[in-house]
Chains A and B, each alone.
Chain A
Amino acid sequence: MREVVGLAYFAICAAIAVWATRRTRTADDFFVAGRGVGLVPFAIAAMASTLSGFAFIGGTGLVYSLGMTAIFLILPAGVTNTLGAWVLGKRMHRLGSTRKLLTVPDALAARYRSPATQGLSAVAILAGVVGYLATNALALGVVIDALFATGLGPGIWIGTAVTLAYSVSGGILAGIYTDVFQGLVMAIASTAVFVFALDAGGGLAAITRTIEAADPTLLGPWGARGAMTALSFFFVFAVGSLGQPQIAHKYYMLCDLARLKWYPVLMTVAMVLSQLLLFSVGVTVKALVLRGEMPSLASPDEATPQFLLRFVPVVLSALVFAGVAAAIMSTVNSFLSIGAAALTHDLPRALGREPVRQLLIGRIWTVVIAVLAALLAQQAGLLVAFLGILGYGLFASTLVPALAIGLNWTGATREGALASIATGLTLTVGLEWLVWSKKLTVPQGITVTGITLVTSLLVFLSVSWLTRDHAAAQLDPDVRAIMLDN
């Protein structure tokens, strides 16, 4: 049954991709979906590309082992869904339509009149993209192996080939519309499993009583790791969300700015439904293991697969596996598009060359990046683990100051933007490498991304203040008008 649902899922993705590919004729179609995406596909695609397989597997494992501490990874969604539209939506969309921008580094170049800002931010984005893609290619290989028993190595290549097929032919246009289908699969699977999980545990109150009898801190307000770790997660995932390029660049794609009105409501509903599984399965499995109704898990990441095997009808468990594949593939497609755009568009512009034949070259780079990520993913457990940690932190520390603050503060300067991007890039790579190679230990309560994000923000503000005399001259009149709503 799992194979049938899996094949049906991939067949529907392929059909959507064929439909979208026929509509992909220009670089605008390939990189920004022809700037013609409506509200519903926009919101569901944003949700689908925000959530990776982590929401179904890794996140559940974290709730199982850390309790409420892990909830602080998703709790910021209450703020971030609206804050993104509020802080970035209108200005990114207007900059995009006025200047015909394709990428997030394009927006930085326009804001600061600086090719160097475009180049440096493209380098940071590429580094983060490769990390994200390698870990997601590995995760997709695991899911395909679970569905079709292919083995991990072939699973990685099959998953990469399927995602690549629609990413390279239809670009982000195909990605957006497969995201809609994939997002719906994720939301339906998550909601259905939520009901089964609470039922299997005897209701939330019974689950709580079982867990608190063994360890009252797990479901205490801050969970097993305490208040500082929980609050650090909250800071990183609330503020850092404003620097995620796979969301920021989607604002270019909206067909009409007035549609932004209901985007936060729709995105919030989609996000809440898709994350119900994460909490419910995590706490239910914990309670069932403590009661002796399930054997202990070999690893926390086994929480979702073991629960599905024992407590959920086969059809639904197959739908969840399809949901995991959907979450991963939608994320991979977004990052392939962003990475290809950095190489096709941003780096040539930063080096003073006008990009040519962007549709063809964009497709070629999409293939190259995907193959590179699949090759890295074959080195499971070594480099991939390090790369996987890098992505979110790199985007947060390099893009939040220059993009999220810079688009809303006319006092920001090019020097401040460059200094903060360079700080975020070097500090994130350096610190994460030291921690990963066990040459540095970060005390409990602090996260590396927290340190790098707060440092790059302070560097941005202080360098901009020191060079404040340059601010007005670095702002083109049309950009200033967009920033000030004049």
Chain B
Amino acid sequence: MIALVVGLLGIVGAYVGVLLGLTSPLVPLGMALGTTAVLGGIAQLAIVRAGRETPALARTVRWVFGGMAVGFVVVLLLPAPVAGGPLLFGLPRVTAILLLVVGAMPLVVLPIAYARAFDAEVIPPTERRPDA
């Protein structure tokens, strides 16, 4: 819940920065970190079972959303690509890094982590009632 609230305040701060015409790199940084904190906060809320955190899913949330936040920060701090610069997978290197960390990494990790943790932490066989 703290991550969710802090994330939302980060987004509000970024929007206020845009409305005030600020050009500081802190503005998109607030938006990036705010967004990943909101997503991580919502995911964290959903993996609490009977008041307790489920360990494998909690680790996944921390690594995936933490990794996405780091990816956003790194790409925001790196210089913009120039014509003729190095390519990675056919795209400018910085763009490819962003797509890999923010797009491909959660795309692969989250569904597999969910499936792996499903029987132990999402719906254990003992909870599979006929009506559910």
List A contacts of B92 (CB < 8 A).
208, 212, 216, 219-221
Q: Which of A260, A262, A445, A485 contacts B49 (CB 8 A)?
A: A485
Question: What is the 8 Å Cβ interface bit string for chain B, positions 111-132, against chain A (1 contact, 0 not)?
Answer: 1111100110011000110011
Using CB atoms, name the residue of chain A closest to B124. A485
List A contacts of B45 (CB < 8 A).
87, 405, 408-409
List A contacts of B76 (CB < 8 A).
227
List A contacts of B119 (CB < 8 A).
261
Contact yes or no, B42 A83, CB < 8 A: yes
List A contacts of B5 (CB < 8 A).
461
Contact yes or no, B43 A87, CB < 8 A: yes
Given contacts A208-B92, A264-B110, A446 and B131 within 8 Å (CB-CB): no
- Residues 260-316 of A at the B interface (beta carbon under 8 Å): 260-262, 264-265, 267-268, 272
Indicate whether B55 reaches chain A with its CB closer than 8 angstroms: no
Indicate whether B94 reaches chain A with its CB closer than 8 angstroms: yes
A78 to B32, CA, bound (A): 16
Indicate whether A484 reaches chain B with its CB closer than 8 angstroms: yes
Given contacts A208-B91, A272-B107, A235 and B35 within 8 Å (CB-CB): yes
For the complex formed, measure the closest distance between the CB of A38 and the CB atoms of chain B, giving whole angstroms.
Answer: 16
A216 to B98, CA, bound (A): 16
Given contacts A78-B110, A228-B18, A228-B31, A86 and B46 within 8 Å (CB-CB): yes
Contact yes or no, B35 A484, CB < 8 A: no
For the complex formed, measure the closest distance between the CB of B31 and the CB atoms of chain A, giving whole angstroms.
Answer: 4
Q: Which of A213, A238, A265, A485 contacts B112 (CB 8 A)?
A: A265
Indicate whether A443 reaches chain B with its CB closer than 8 angstroms: yes
A262 to B106, CA, bound (A): 16
Q: Which of B28, B47, B82, B118 contacts A231 (CB 8 A)?
A: B28
Contact yes or no, A208 B128, CB < 8 A: no
A212 to B8, CA, bound (A): 35
- Residues 32-79 of A at the B interface (beta carbon under 8 Å): 68, 71, 75, 77-79
A1 to B15, CA, bound (A): 51
Question: What is the 8 Å Cβ interface bit string for chain A, positions 211-239, against chain B (1 contact, 0 not)?
Answer: 01100110111000011100110110011
A272 to B83, CA, bound (A): 29
A329 to B35, CA, bound (A): 32
A-B pairs under 8 A by CB, number: 189
Contact yes or no, B114 A86, CB < 8 A: yes
Using CB atoms, name the residue of chain B closest to A78. B107
Contact yes or no, B111 A75, CB < 8 A: no
- Residues 80-111 of B at the A interface (beta carbon under 8 Å): 80-85, 87, 89-92, 94-95, 97-99, 102-107, 110-111
A261 to B118, CA, bound (A): 6
List B contacts of A213 (CB < 8 A).
83
Name which of B42, B115, B118 has the most chain A CB atoms within 10 A of its CB.
B42
Name which of B5, B32, B48, B106 has the most chain A CB atoms within 10 A of its CB.
B106
Indicate whether A82 reaches chain B with its CB closer than 8 angstroms: yes
Q: Which of A258, A443, A461 contacts B128 (CB 8 A)?
A: A258
Q: Could you pull out 27 A-B pairs where Cβ atoms are within 8 angstroms?
A: A79-B110, A83-B110, A85-B114, A86-B47, A86-B114, A90-B123, A94-B132, A97-B131, A97-B132, A208-B87, A212-B84, A220-B80, A232-B31, A235-B34, A238-B39, A239-B38, A239-B39, A258-B123, A261-B123, A267-B111, A272-B107, A404-B42, A405-B45, A408-B48, A409-B1, A409-B45, A443-B19
> Apart from A212-B81, A216-B80, A239-B38, what are 20 other A-B pairs with CB-CB below 8 Å?
A75-B102, A78-B102, A78-B103, A78-B105, A82-B113, A94-B132, A97-B131, A212-B82, A226-B28, A228-B27, A234-B102, A235-B11, A235-B34, A239-B42, A257-B128, A257-B132, A272-B107, A408-B46, A443-B18, A450-B11
- Which residues of B are interface residues toward A (Cβ below 8 A)? 1, 4-5, 8, 11-12, 14-15, 18-19, 21, 27-28, 31-32, 34-35, 38-39, 42-43, 45-51, 57, 68, 72, 75-76, 80-85, 87, 89-92, 94-95, 97-99, 102-107, 110-115, 118-119, 122-123, 127-128, 131-132
